[in-house]
Amino acid sequence: MNRRLLILYLNNKYISCMNNFEFRNPTRLVFGKGQIARLSDLVGQDKKVLLTYGGGSIKRNGVYEQVIAALKGREITEFGGIEANPDYDTLIKAVEICKQKKIDFILAVGGGSIIDGTKFIAAAAKCDCEDTWKLITDKSFKMPVPIDFGAVLTLPATASEMNNGAVISRRATKEKFAFHNPDGFPCFSILDPTVVLSLPKKQISNGIVDIYAHTLEQYLTTCLDTKVMDYWAEGLLKTLIEEAPNLMSDNPSYDSCANFMLTATMGLNGFISMGVDEDWATHMIGHELTALCGLDHGETLAIVHPGVMAVMRQEKHGKLLQYARRVWNITESDQEKAIDMAIEKTENFFRSIGKKTRLGEYGIGNDIIDTIVERFEQRGWAVGEHGIVTPEKTRQILERVK
């Protein structure tokens, strides 16, 4: 049986072969109202702290004051101005500060961009190498044990608060890449759901789409009879569908914010990836759209994911059908029609929370599609589970969502 047929076979039948895996996640989660005050006991009194944050939202919503009050007595150096999609050229300035001031703890206060940027700063400051861009791009590079760092999360979306991955952009070359550091988990993360109340609706919907996409990237792959992970993933997807209207309303309830925040963390902290095949094609294509066209991360996923489902429907047939039946409760007996309906419902869900789902709606045309496909060809990238999303498939996916 050739490789493609084997994958098709695996995807359409349950066979009992959950992948082997090893699970480790050392991040301490501190969850709930008023918990930012816990920084006073989570960060040692003698620490020289670098406080990293973004463009200023924490100074407008009261989070900054809570952090400063809780850290009273520590020597604090501030490094604000980290961009959404953190830029390498900004972050290396913080690396120098860490070295000069002998910083021994970094506290990230913000969303995924701030936590990701902090993961890079913490590792690069412990790296003797001349070119720290290699930390991000050279997979053979031995990652340094980073400076200890923790997080106060202000935007539920990426799960960066409880994983060891980070995504760094380089605007100078219009590139955006992910890296992982085995020792790069936050020591702790504080999740106070009330921070959601100051988020613009655009960021809430970006977060919902991002969590939804993370879950699908680890769920809509091979049928391996991974019941625990499948039911978990379906629970996350259903929670998002159920909570979205309340979250997008003028007065989201505390319970919705709490469910939203925990869904984000559980979506990419390693729980639902145990023993399953993972996809990540949507994210890889999405990163190019951010790097080349400046779209927010969540905006790219709302466009690309329905395209991946449609173009890869044969390879993902078994899981797409399970998704249709269990997440969207579609009872249509014709399997192909049921899958069509599930793809349509997914796109409609993204649109219902204000997301555009077509490249044309952002004025993105064929030239960008050509550039992305050329980049994937040059890098020798075949993405998705088992490398099934070839550059040619990538073209078809982007053509499908024009």
Min dist. Cβ of residue 115 to Zn ion (A): 13
Among 39, 79, 276, 283, binds ligand NZQ (CB under 6 A): 283
209 binds ligand NZQ (CB under 6 A): no
307 binds ligand NZQ (CB under 6 A): no
Min dist. Cβ of residue 104 to Zn ion (A): 30
Binding mask 278-297 for Zn ion (x = CB under 5 A): --------------------
User: Residue 152, Cα to own-chain centre: how many angstroms?
Assistant: 17
Distances (CA, A) of 290 to 120, 162, 197, 216, 393: 19, 23, 26, 20, 20
What count of other Cβ atoms lies within 10 Å of the Cβ of residue 98?
A: 21
| Pair 78, 110: CB distance under 8 Å | no
Please, which of residues 38-97 interact with ligand NZQ by CB under 6 A? 54-58, 61, 84-85
**From ligand NZQ, Zn ion, none, interface partner of 62 (C-beta below 5 to 8 A by class):** none
Residue keyed to tokens 């699970």 = 23
HSE-CB for 141 with a 13 A CA cutoff: 21
Rounded Cα gap, residues 358 and 210, in angstroms: 17
Q: Which is nearer to ligand NZQ, 54 or 306 (CB)?
A: 54
Among 51, 114, 190, 258, binds ligand NZQ (CB under 6 A): 114
198 binds ligand NZQ (CB under 6 A): yes
Min dist. Cβ of residue 12 to ligand NZQ (A): 29
Rounded Cα gap, residues 78 and 223, in angstroms: 48
Rounded Cα gap, residues 20 and 287, in angstroms: 29
Q: In 13-56, where does DSSP find H-type helix? A: 39-42
For ligand NZQ, which stretch binds (CB under 6 A), given 44-52, 107-115, 236-244, 337-345? Answer: 107-115
Min dist. Cβ of residue 108 to Zn ion (A): 17
192 binds Zn ion (CB under 5 A): no
Min dist. Cβ of residue 154 to ligand NZQ (A): 4
Rounded Cα gap, residues 103 and 105, in angstroms: 6
**From Zn ion, ligand NZQ, none, interface partner of 56 (C-beta below 5 to 8 A by class):** ligand NZQ
Q: Which is nearer to ligand NZQ, 163 or 394 (CB)?
A: 163
**From ligand NZQ, Zn ion, none, interface partner of 135 (C-beta below 5 to 8 A by class):** none
155 binds ligand NZQ (CB under 6 A): yes
φ, ψ for residue 178 (rounded to 5)? -95, 150
217's CB contacts (< 8 A; 6+ apart) are 278, 279, 280, 281, 282, 283
- Token representation of residue 87: 């830029």
Min dist. Cβ of residue 153 to ligand NZQ (A): 8
Rounded Cα gap, residues 295 and 362, in angstroms: 9
**Pair type for strands 149-153 and 105-110:** parallel
Among 161, 175, 192, 210, binds Zn ion (CB under 5 A): 210
Among 52, 66, 118, 163, binds ligand NZQ (CB under 6 A): 163
| Pair 54, 85: CB distance under 8 Å | no
Q: Which is nearer to Zn ion, 11 or 189 (CB)?
A: 189
- Token representation of residue 285: 């294509």
| Nearest alpha carbon to residue 280 among 362, 182, 167, 171 | 167
Among 118, 132, 158, 194, binds ligand NZQ (CB under 6 A): 158
Interface residues with Zn ion (CB under 5 A)?
A: 210
Interface residues with ligand NZQ (CB under 6 A)?
A: 54-58, 61, 84-85, 110-114, 116, 154-155, 157-160, 163, 165-167, 195, 198-199, 203, 206, 210, 268, 283, 297
